[in-house]
Structure 1
Amino acid sequence: MIILSAALALSALILPTLAATSWIVPGAVWLDTSGNKIDAHGGMIIKPGSVWYWIGYSVNDGITPVIYSSEDLLNWDNRGIANSIKQMWRPKLIIAGGRFNIFGQVNRLTQGMTATAITGPYTLYGSGMSIPPDALTYSDCGPFVDTDGQIYWITSADHNTLSINHVTNTSNPTLSTRVASLALGAFEGPALFKVGSIYFLIVSSKTGWRPNPDKVFWATSLAGPWSGGTDVAPEGNNTYNSQSTYVAPVIGSSQTTYIFMGDAWDSTGSAASNYMWAPLSVSTSAHTATIQYFPFWKVNPTTGVVTTSSTGKRYEAEDAEMAGRAGKSNLSLGIVTDCSSCVSKRAVHRVDDGSTVTFAGVEGLGNGERQWVALHYTVNNATGGDAYVYVNDEKMNVRDLNVRAGLHHVVPISVVLQKSNNITFAVHTSDPHFEAHLDGIEVLDGTEEEIEVKL
């Protein structure tokens, strides 16, 4: 069954006027409704009523649990810190005993906190809980509520095992009976969900902040046996440069869509890390769950329907002004070359450290609101250098705005445009062999009617 229908350095780029968020853009900087970068890592989303809540940890506040809320899964209000406890990793929300409870990992143990309102204030209770029955400690963690209402806590425990334990449905809930101890390999980042009668468990390998190919296992019972270990994305993409933290079902009137929530970490897991959310295509017969990657997408929280493939006003690279090595070229020299995958079937190749490609007269809103500019380019070495854009002479590192820079041929960035703009594309590298190949750019939000395709 396929579930689809169809940091701180950035503050200078964020202006006071903020348009409503129109798309989920994997890897891009995601701003809250106050114009600040969302800081809620290792988290989850949940909808106990008519509003969605995002619980994660704030790096800027010392790895402290923070809560955001949204009605459309696009625009998120910062509801503040749940509790001032520090170093609580991967906090998750559990509704038990008629109360709202946050479990998180503190010093490799589960610490609980409770509140009568989902936004808190939350009060710590008890001491850190090890994993029953043999007092294992653990690293990553996540919750799961089965269709019968039973609550479970999944951890990457000691000795490279994944442990699934009951959670008591009481006020001040605690960890209880172990349901399964899974020796599937050295895995962490557990995200457990259920489709029909099949349980799916997505995990990542233990490679620190470096991404790897997340795997999915399946079973017809939580106790197992568990099978599988297939990739959730093409292996070379390393889960689109992210690590699993949760799978959220959006149960709509038309369909249920499952959102893969991933953290797109930087090299240290800092506040500059972004998020990689994408719908999953799930097959209960083939026992697979596959990330459906789109540069732009969104899900209707009422119907569950996914829309994607937004198109704005396009500017072709071969029509732009080229300088440097690119400027010395022409069609016969092969810098503007055929490109079968490009929209116009032409692209500017060999954009190196001494080259620039400038698009003049690019139309923008000119009202101080941020809008999306999609850069269509590839590089010959994803780690060999950086791409830059100059928007009316303001220099921006593309990787600071979207961690997918160099890893995907469509890289959306959010910028403020005037009515008429000069946008220059360039690269910087110490590698004499590094170069980019530029297809063109597209400007979204207000320049043309956006095209939404239901999949």
Structure 2
Amino acid sequence: MSKIKTHLLLIILLATAMLQQAAAQTENAISEFKPGAVWYDKKGVAINAHGGGILYKNGLYYWFGEHKVEGSAGNTSMVGVHCYSSADLYNWKDEGIALAMSDDPQSDIVKGCVLERPKVVYNKKTKKYVMWFHLELKGKGYSAARAAVAVSDKVTGPYQFIKSYRPNAGKMPFYPQGTPEAEKVNCAAVADNDKFFCRDLEGGQMARDMTIFVDDDGKAYHVFSSEENYTLHVAELTADYTGHTGKYSRVFIGKQTEAPALFKRNGIYYMIGSGCTGWAPNAARWFTAKSIFGPWEYHGNPCEGPKKEITFGGQSTHVLPIAGKKDAFIFMADKWVPDNAIDGRYLWLPITFKGDDISIVWKDSWRLNDKSNFSLGN
């Protein structure tokens, strides 16, 4: 066979393979959300990005989440943070592991640690992508309660781990205007609601379930469950987003709230969270505030429909503003499966508004282009 014929044959084979791959991806393509169903990436592999968050950048959405493995061991981190990209939010390309766990037993992020709820934001000043997550040290259960941060020059990574620690050591909280005296910390006469705060004051406050929120002015905030999960903290980050400034407030003191997810609409800050019942689902709760530091007003359960009292079997992890759509936000929740962590499912539902109030209504399936999903009118 001549070289020309050989080259032509190779080109034909390559083109055929590319067409077959494109056809397979088209066959796997979806055009609607089905909350709780197995969600496959473009290669037909189940998406593995639990407890995640999404960053929108240059026309693409990037989904970061915990990579789980089979069995109960999947509740520890053996692989790292997985990243996927999408232009339409339905169909996702596997971008690989953005932050890999370490083989070094001295590393805070050695394989077998607990890494939860990774969130990535972009810093316009430093031009760095910054990832925060909740970290528990290997073999320590949930006693470490640390915040951890990593950075990258590229959105998909690799991310370089910087440090883990408990935030705001030695710092007293900021009190928004109108804070009742009863909610101000007095470690000289410790009340039940302050005992964990005062215990941890010198070494830094506990940081478990968390999210990161970037405001319109570019300032970023770390919101996390603290004080043995009894109280939320809203903490300001440094200008480069890799540390805490020491300014923070306490929210819903003593009421046991975790799984915070924040968004902003018409100048009002919204936060959706859950109660604390371990891996078992419970009723969601939502709050509003006119300032990021509060005071935050509690509004009850936003969910409507079957199993609304257990957030449809899931727990909040992120609220995603849809690019280019006014008043369009997606409530993202995870349905945890602790006995086989990799089988955890994703519950994405539209947030609907009536004035400044919100509802999250169960839907077996739904589409982005259906405007009725996002607004109930005023």
Equivalent residue letter for 1:36 = V
For the residue of structure 1 that corresponds to 2:311, the secondary structure is helix
- The residue aligned with 1:208 is 278
> 3-state DSSP class of the match of 2:280?
coil
Note the 1:383-398 alignment, pairs <5 A. Answer: none
Shift of 1:129: 4.2
The equivalent residue for 1:93 is 120
| Residues 260-269 or 205-214, more deviating | 260-269
How far, CA to CA, are the matches of 1:271 and 1:264 in structure 2?
11
Are residues 1:103 and 2:132 paired?
Answer: yes
Listed one character per residue, the Cα deviations across residues 383-414 of structure 1 (whole Å, up to 9, x for unaligned) are: xxxxxxxxxxxxxxxxxxxxxxxxxxxxxxxx
Partner of 2:20: none
Contact conserved, 1:299 with 1:307, CA < 8 A, in 2?
no
Secondary structure of 2:100 counterpart: coil
Match of residue 218 from structure 2: 149
Instruction: Check if 1:41 corresponds to 2:110.
Output: no
Q: Does structure 1 residue 137 correspond to structure 2 residue 206?
A: yes
CA contact (8 A) 1:242 1:263 kept: yes
- In the alignment, which residue of structure 2 is the partner of 1:221? 291
Correspondence for 2:237: 167
2:363 to 270, 276, 294: 294
**Residue from 247, 267, 274 that aligns with 1:178:** 247
Amino acid corresponding to residue 238 of structure 2 in structure 1: T
Bigger Rg, which one: 1
Question: Structure 1, residues 258-301: CA drift from partner, whole Å, max 9, x if none?
Answer: 1000001124461111000001013454xx3211322111225x
Aligned residue type for 2:82: V
Aligned equivalents of 2:270 and 2:208: distance in 1? 20
Question: Aligned partner of 1:278: which letter?
Answer: L
Alpha-carbon distance, 1:168 to partner: 1.4
Q: Partner of 2:349 in structure 1?
A: 278
Superposition deviation, residue 121 in structure 1:
1.1
Deviations 1:230-259 (A, max 9, x none): 11113842111110001011132x523110
Distance in 1 (alpha carbons) for counterparts of 2:99 and 2:296: 37
- Paired AA for residue 232 in structure 1: P
CA displacement at 1:110 relative to structure 2 = 1.2
State whether residues 79 and 100 of structure 2, in contact with CA within 8 Å, keep that contact through their aligned partners in structure 1. Answer: no
2:311 to 236, 239, 242: 239
CA contact (8 A) 2:335 2:345 kept: yes
CA distance in 2, matches of 1:35, 1:195: 36
**In structure 2, the residue corresponding to 1:240 is in which secondary structure?**
helix
Counterpart among 77, 89, 114 of residue 151 in structure 2: 114
* Cα distance change of structure 1 residues 213 and 49 upon mapping to structure 2, 3 Å threshold: same
What's the counterpart of residue 334 of structure 2? 263
Distance 1:279 1:269 in 2: 28
Which amino acid in structure 2 is aligned with residue 148 of structure 1?
D
- Asked if structure 1 preserves the Cα contact closer than 8 Å seen for 2:304 and 2:360, the reply is no
Percent of aligned pairs with the same amino acid: 30
Q: In the aligned structure 1, how far is the partner of 2:371 from the partner of 2:34?
A: 13
Distance (whole Å) between structure 1 residues aligned to residue 158 and residue 372 of structure 2? 36
| Counterpart selection for 1:81 from 87, 97, 100 | 97
Distance (whole Å) between structure 2 residues aligned to residue 26 and residue 245 of structure 1: 14
What is the TM-score with the length of structure 2 in the denominator? 0.71
Residue 379 of structure 1 is matched in structure 2 by none
One-letter amino acid of the structure 2 residue matched with residue 177 of structure 1: G
> In structure 1, what residue type is equivalent to 2:336?
W
Q: Deviations over 1:101-147 (max 9, x none)?
A: 11111122111111111011111113434345330112100011112
Whether the 8 Å CA contact 2:226–2:232 is kept in 1: the answer is yes
Aligned partners of 2:358 and 2:221: how far apart in 1?
21
Cα deviation, 1:183-205, whole Å, max 9, x if unaligned, reads 34101000111111211111101
Distance 1:164 1:231 in 2: 21
8 Å contact kept, 1:27–1:264: yes
**Separation in structure 2 between the aligned mates of residue 21 and residue 128 of structure 1, nearest angstrom:** 41
Measure how far apart 1:158 and its partner are.
Answer: 1.3
Residue-pair matches, total = 287
Partner of 1:418: none
In 1: Cα distance, 2:121 partner to 2:244 partner: 12
Contact 2:236-2:246 within 8 A present in 1 as well: yes
| The structure with more strand, counted as a fraction of residues | 1
Structure 1 residues 292 and 63 mapped into 2: Cα distance closer, same or farther (>3 Å)? farther
Identify unmatched segments of 5+ residues in structure 2: 1-23, 70-76, 102-110, 137-144, 172-200
Q: Distance in 2 between matches of 1:306 and 1:29?
A: 25
Residue 169 of structure 1: CA displacement? Answer: 2.3
Deviating runs (4+, > 6 A) in structure 1? none
- 1:206 maps to a residue whose letter is C
Deviation for aligned residue 1:63:
6.0
TM-score between both structures, scaled by the size of structure 1:
0.59
The equivalent of 1:53 in structure 2 is 62
d(CA) in 1 for partners of 2:207, 2:79: 17
3-state DSSP class of the match of 1:139?
coil
